[in-house]
Amino acid sequence: MLVSPPEMAFAEVWVDVAGPVGSKAFDYQVPPDLATRAVPGTRVLVPFGRRRVLGFLRCRKASPAVSETRPILNVLDDAPLLSLPHMELAEGLARYYHCGVAEFLRLMLPPPLRVAVRKKTASPNVFTAAPDVARQLAAGRLRRAPQQEKALRFVLQHGAVARQELASLAGVSLGVVDALRQKGLLVPVDPSWSGESDQHVPELTDHQRTALTSIRAALDAGRMEMFLLHGVTGSGKTEVYLRSCQAALAKGRQAIVLVPELSLTPQMIEVFQARFGYRLAVLHSRLAAGERWREWTRIRAGQARVVLGARSAIFAPCHRPGLIILDEEHEFSYKQENSPRYHARYVAEQIAHKFGCVLLLGSATPAVESYQAACQGEYRLLELPERIEARPLPQVLVVDMRAELQSGNRTIFSRALTDGLANCLLQKEQAILFLNRRGFSTFILCRECGTVIRCPHCSVSLTYHQSDRLLHCHYCGRRRRPPDTCPTCGTSRIRSFGAGTQRVEEEVRRHWPQARVLRMDVDTTGRKGAHEAIWRRFRSGEADVLVGTQMVAKGLDVAGVTLVGVVAADTALHLPDFRAAERTFQVLTQVAGRAGRGAQQGRVVIQTYNPDHFAIQMASRHDYRAFFARELRERQTWGFPPFGRLGKIICRGKKCDDVARLAEVVAEAAEKAGVDVLGPAPAPLERIKDVYRWQVLVRSHPGHPGFDAAVAAAMVAGREVGGGELSVDIDPMDMM
Ligand code: ADP
Ligand code: ZN
């Protein structure tokens, strides 16, 4: 523990206050009565202006940097909650993302607890679930004993729990716990237990072994190294993750495993649970405060060795992290969309440097930035080019919806998809119908030739705004009247485009009244556990067709699925976002990867008005490298990442004119500071709940030294003029 000598009568404190003051530490006096408790990493109460605010003690010092200091009012913790390396990490991140240090420190803390937590005495009465329990629960064996089922699910989630705690935390009686022990469903934790249950552990394939050898070499040497694992869908990346974790644990270190959304990957939890048992901590957003606190302490105490969670689990309090894994590293959910707007991959890289960790990024469709980093030697590329058991990748058919229309088919299903579905139902196989829909899709598309109106200056699709009936470019702000006839083919079949999942579901029911259809989208998955319930029903064969949005594209490993239909590939293609092609390629590859994971060969039908678009073409051929090469050229031409660094400054306010003026000032200030400025322009979602949003994009070469200064100058200028709220998003992923 860090003890400060008494002559260090001052302390630097980060105050938990919004705005630019949050980015620097302030000096305070340490009163003699608090001198022993005021150690780095504790939370303190300090006066700030006329308020009392929460602060984090950074360090003690002998003399303050300013002449007048005020005293710390109280120290809130008996022992530091934050370690020095983690505080340094937060400081670095705050600088990079232009936000307050405390915003990051807060992410590293356990959740606030209303009840005081007693110091735990060691209990010999600790239990874990018997090896086979997950399978028995899935098979519904305990449906008649809901209390027992509840207790077991709790244990499965937590790895190991004491008898008393299990009863009180899971809300069951001690009798229930004892009954489970008698049935052999709960077994005592043997301290020497390896944590491996009798789950089948497969023999590695050659490709898996080669990848693992490289990772293990870095782990054994204890050196920082970053790997990009590019493996096609169904190539067995998870097994590489599991073995890498074991290798890290063998070195006495901890592993952090991030997945895009835990609720979408119940299979992942099961697999990790089976392999690591009580050594696993699972952090997800639906944990109650008490559960979260317990997991946090288990990680912090080093009892939990593997941490599985979504984005924010990157801040888990591991003392000796040795390995960090990001599964599906290209996923957008790794970027937090409200302050602090960090990307888990960037944070992971910083931790890897600081702690000398191995970073393992895995994906079938790596982000362009990541693959480029691998090409340049920053990451080491590992490849799994084949599916397990040499299963073929699915055959993909691209259907030209313009031709369908010309031949008189006005329905939302092409003949190929209709035939495919009919056949699939006849064979008693399963199908997924996928519709890519992110919020809205109001681009203008010609049904005759597939033309979409784009900005000639920014290479993004223009968005139709109902309010002024004009097409807007959301990067540069230019606007124009929508054409009455298509500029390419001259017909008048050019209009706005979009269809919902509900519509698709209705169509399926109309065509095939006997088909059992499930729908998975934001409307049907609002309730807790709803997503998992739909997933389980589909997996167990209770439905023939699953209709859904992005949610169905990820993580589903259902052997019965032989057909995947992409109802409209174009919705992703024409988002006003420079990553639109990349998103399209990724989502098509992911959703296609759901087909043919069992013994039967899979088929995919992609419906589109742009059959020749390179993202669709390359996805249909499973050709990541060709896609990457082409997309990289586009990025270079337009100066977008990885060839440019972006910062998005967002201006929000109730008064349209004020916000526009504010954006103007911000843009001007950034320009004066010597970086490229795109905008100001109204955001694609210009008005949300009566708040107007404008944005300014700041762009520079990746190594440009003036980038941060320009962002800071723009923010200062904006705050001076006022008229709305300002925020900045560094390396933005969401361009809406
Ligand atoms: P990915 O994440 O690359 O899409 P998964 O990790 O889901 O692929 O693996 C696909 C399937 O192959 C899973 O059911 C997994 O259990 C199985 N699998 C993985 N490695 C092996 C192996 N070496 N031998 C046999 N089956 C394996
Ligand atoms: Zn433009």
Note the pLDDT of residue 692.
85
pLDDT band at 442 (very low <50, low <70, confident <90, very high): low
277-290 per-position pLDDT tens digit: 878 999 877 777 77
Q: Which residue has the higher pLDDT, 326 or 147?
A: 326
CA of 84 to the centre of ligand 1 (A): 39
In the numeric block, which tokens belong to residue 346? 């960037």
Q: Name the DSSP class of 461.
A: B
Mean pLDDT over 443-448 rounds to 78
Q: What angle do CA 391, 395, 397 make, to 5 degrees?
A: 170
Helix/strand/coil (H/E/C) assignment for every residue in 167-200: HHHHCCCHHHHHHHHHHCCEEECCCCCCCCCCCC
Note the pLDDT of residue 642.
94
In the numeric block, which tokens belong to residue 90? 């937060």
Is the confidence at residue 189, as pLDDT, over 70? no
CA of 440 to the centre of ligand 2 (A): 20
CA of 716 to the centre of ligand 2 (A): 26
Note the pLDDT of residue 170.
81
CATH level 3 topology of 9-113 = GIY-YIG endonuclease (3.40.1440)
Residue nearest to atom 19 of ligand 1 (CA): 236
Note the pLDDT of residue 196.
45
- Residue 163's contacts (CB-CB under 8 Å, 6 or more residues apart) are 123, 125, 126, 127, 174, 177
Q: pLDDT > 90: what percent of the chain?
A: 44
Q: What is the CATH number of domain 645-730?
A: 3.30.70.600
Note the pLDDT of residue 323.
98
Mean pLDDT of the chain: 85
Helix (H, G, I), strand (E, B) or coil at 222: coil
Distance CA 626, CA 398 (A): 17
Note the pLDDT of residue 656.
85
Note the pLDDT of residue 704.
85
CA of 719 to the centre of ligand 2 (A): 26
Note the pLDDT of residue 159.
62
Note the pLDDT of residue 591.
85
- Residue 415's contacts (CB-CB under 8 Å, 6 or more residues apart) are 404, 409
CATH level 3 topology of 395-440+499-633 = Rossmann fold (3.40.50)
Whether the link from the prior residue into 642 is cis, omega within 30° of 0, is yes
- Residue 172's contacts (CB-CB under 8 Å, 6 or more residues apart) are 147, 148, 150, 151, 166
Note the pLDDT of residue 121.
37
Is the confidence at residue 128, as pLDDT, over 80? no
Q: Which atom of ligand 1 is least distant from the CA of 384?
A: 3
Distance CA 621, CA 395 (A): 8
CA of 482 to the centre of ligand 2 (A): 15
Q: Which atom of ligand 1 is least distant from the CA of 557?
A: 7
Residue extent(s) of CATH 3.30.70.600 domains in the chain: 645-730
Q: Which atom of ligand 1 is least distant from the CA of 267?
A: 7
Note the pLDDT of residue 171.
85
pLDDT band at 469 (very low <50, low <70, confident <90, very high): confident
Distance CA 693, CA 734 (A): 14
Q: Which atom of ligand 1 is least distant from the CA of 205?
A: 23
Helix (H, G, I), strand (E, B) or coil at 477: coil
Is the confidence at residue 195, as pLDDT, over 70? no
pLDDT band at 1 (very low <50, low <70, confident <90, very high): very low
**90 in Cβ contact with 78 (< 8 Å):** no
Note the pLDDT of residue 4.
52
In the numeric block, which tokens belong to residue 268? 């992942």
Note the pLDDT of residue 507.
85
Mean pLDDT over 543-555 rounds to 81
Q: Which atom of ligand 1 is least distant from the CA of 231?
A: 3
Q: Which residue has the higher pLDDT, 556 or 314?
A: 314
CA of 205 to the centre of ligand 1 (A): 10
Query: Nearest to residue 131, comparing CAs of 245, 275, 269?
Result: 275
Amino acid in the structure at residue 180: L
Amino acid in the structure at residue 472: H
Note the pLDDT of residue 192.
34
Is the confidence at residue 119, as pLDDT, over 50? no
692-719 per-position pLDDT tens digit: 889 999 999 888 888 999 999 999 999 8
Note the pLDDT of residue 616.
94
Is the confidence at residue 641, as pLDDT, over 80? yes
Q: Which residue has the higher pLDDT, 151 or 455?
A: 151
Q: Which residue has the higher pLDDT, 592 or 335?
A: 335
Residue nearest to atom 10 of ligand 1 (CA): 234
247-251, 469-473, 611-615: least confident range: 469-473
- Say which ligand is closest to the CA of 679: 2
Residue extent(s) of CATH 3.40.1440.60 domains in the chain: 9-113
Mean pLDDT over 72-90 rounds to 91
CA of 208 to the centre of ligand 1 (A): 10
CA of 683 to the centre of ligand 2 (A): 12
In terms of residues, how long is the chain? Answer: 736
Q: pLDDT > 70: what percent of the chain?
A: 90
Note the pLDDT of residue 253.
92
Note the pLDDT of residue 688.
64
Residue nearest to atom 24 of ligand 1 (CA): 202
Query: pTM for the complete prediction?
Result: 0.81
Q: What angle do CA 604, 583, 418 make, to 5 degrees?
A: 25
In CATH, which of 1.10.3720.10, 3.40.50.300, 3.40.50.360, 3.10.580.10 is domain 206-285+304-388? Answer: 3.40.50.300
- Say which ligand is closest to the CA of 235: 1
Is the confidence at residue 116, as pLDDT, over 70? no
Residue 679 Cα to chain centre, angstroms: 28
Which of 239, 387, 586 best tests ligand 1's pocket when mutated (most atoms within 8 Å of CB)?
Answer: 239
Pocket residues for ligand 1 (CB within 6 Å)?
202-205, 208, 231, 233-239, 388, 557
pLDDT band at 467 (very low <50, low <70, confident <90, very high): low
Residue nearest to atom 5 of ligand 1 (CA): 236
407-440 per-position pLDDT tens digit: 888 788 999 999 999 999 999 999 999 887 543 4
Is the confidence at residue 468, as pLDDT, over 80? no
Note the pLDDT of residue 115.
42
Q: Which atom of ligand 1 is least distant from the CA of 238?
A: 6
Name the phi and psi angles at 322, rounded to 5: -115, -20
